[in-house]
């Protein structure tokens, strides 16, 4: 991943240019005081130090400003013949000093700028990585909390549903039943996990199974509750009549997510199952 604003590592504003001006002025004053001792020796040494320091702290633009400002100053005051900008009047060694200063300072500015941008980019990447890691940790913590709350809510619901002593079920939109209370299992003698989906219709009276299935389709399509009555077969072969309705569970947008129901026992049929009905 590349950071596009890595070049903005230096402090913004005019402070860098002011520091560059002061640095070049300080370097000039020091070199000027040493002119009698040094003569034409090391005419740009102080300026070079000032330019590098400005580049390291304030970036490429103030550094280039310092270099362009120091070049004519050094040429005028410290390159013989003094007090002239005619570089061709100087000796070859002095011409080499001027051109070398410009070339070396340009290269040094480029290298330091590249290193500073790379360092700043690495720091930004570290900040981005740290922020993303914190977001991931927070998201994972929230996900774990949501999973725990959902599990607790499901356990509470199952505990409540299994202890009310009545049939309780939950049906997915466009799918089968995802929960049926243990009451149905105790009555029918069929394990609850075997009744999930559409399998619970197998413990219903054959005459009611088809109509209930049609009602389920109508409820799913219309999303409107309806009263229903059906007979469930017990483990002893007796049919128990239940009646009730399915109720919608909507989300915050008003979309139906599930249907729930809690039909209550209305009575027991008079006759036991015939052998043919027992085989169904």
Answer yes or no: is 257 within a domain: yes
37 and 77 within one domain: yes
**Domain harbouring 177, CATH code:** 3.30.450.20
Model-wide pTM > 0.95: no
Residue 20: pLDDT band (50, 70, 90) is very high
Q: Is 184 helix (H, G, I), strand (E, B) or coil?
A: helix
* CA distance linking residue 34 with residue 210, whole number of Å: 110
Average pLDDT over residues 224-247: 77
> Is residue 155 included in any domain, yes or no?
no
Q: Do 11 and 113 share a domain, yes or no? A: yes
- Segments forming the whole domain that contains residue 77: 4-133
State the average pLDDT over residues 266-277: 48
Q: Is residue 150 part of a domain?
A: no
Q: Are 174 and 237 members of one domain?
A: yes
**204-225: b or e for each residue (b if 16 or more CB lie within 10 Å)?**
bbeebbeebeebbeebbeeeee
91, 118, 133 - which closes a domain: 133
Is 83 found in the same domain as 174? no
Of 98-102, 148-152, 159-163, 244-248, give the range with the top mean pLDDT: 98-102
Q: How far apart, in whole angstroms, are the C-alpha atoms of residue 134 and residue 2?
A: 21
Segment 66-88 shows an average pLDDT of 87
Q: Does one domain contain both 28 and 120?
A: yes
Give the total number of structural domains in the chain.
Answer: 2
- Is 100 domain-assigned? yes
98 strand-pairing partners: none
Q: With a cut of 50, say whether residue 276 has pLDDT above it.
A: no
55 within domain boundaries: yes
Distance CA 244, CA 183 (A): 15
Checking if the pLDDT of 79 tops 50, the result is: yes
pLDDT surpasses 60 at 3: no
Cβ–Cβ under 8 Å, residues 37 and 78: no
Residue 106's pLDDT is: 94
Say what the pLDDT of residue 110 is: 95
| High-pLDDT (> 90) share of the chain, % | 25
In a domain, 102, yes or no: yes
pLDDT at 275 over 60: no
């Amino acid at each position: 991943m590349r950071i596009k604003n890595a070049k903005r590592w230096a402090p913004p504003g005019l402070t860098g240019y002011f520091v560059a001006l002061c640095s070049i002025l300080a370097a000039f004053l020091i070199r000027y005081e040493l002119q009698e001792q040094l003569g034409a020796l090391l005419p740009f040494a102080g300026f070079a130090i000032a330019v590098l320091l400005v580049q390291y702290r304030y970036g490429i633009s103030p550094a280039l400003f310092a270099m362009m400002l120091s070049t004519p100053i050094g040429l005028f005051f410290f390159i013989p013949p003094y007090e002239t900008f005619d570089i061709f009047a100087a000796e070859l060694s002095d011409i080499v000093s001027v051109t070398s200063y410009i070339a070396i300072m340009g290269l040094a500015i480029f290298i330091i700028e590249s290193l500073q941008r790379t360092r700043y980019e690495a720091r930004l990447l570290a900040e981005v990585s740290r922020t993303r890691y914190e977001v991931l940790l927070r998201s994972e913590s929230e996900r774990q909390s949501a999973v725990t709350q959902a599990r607790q809510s499901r356990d509470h619901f199952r505990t409540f549903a299994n202890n009310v002593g009545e049939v309780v079920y939950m049906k997915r939109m466009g799918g089968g039943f995802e929960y049926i209370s243990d009451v149905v299992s105790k009555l029918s003698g069929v394990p609850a996990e075997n009744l999930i989906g559409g399998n619970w219709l197998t413990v219903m009276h054959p005459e009611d199974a088809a109509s209930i299935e049609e009602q389920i389709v109508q409820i799913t399509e219309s999303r409107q509750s309806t009263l229903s009555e059906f007979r469930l077969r017990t483990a002893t072969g007796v049919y128990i009549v239940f009646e009730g309705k399915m109720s919608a569970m909507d989300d915050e947008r008003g979309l139906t997510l599930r249907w729930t129901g809690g039909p209550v026992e209305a009575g027991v049929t008079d006759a036991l199952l015939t052998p043919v009905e027992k085989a169904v």
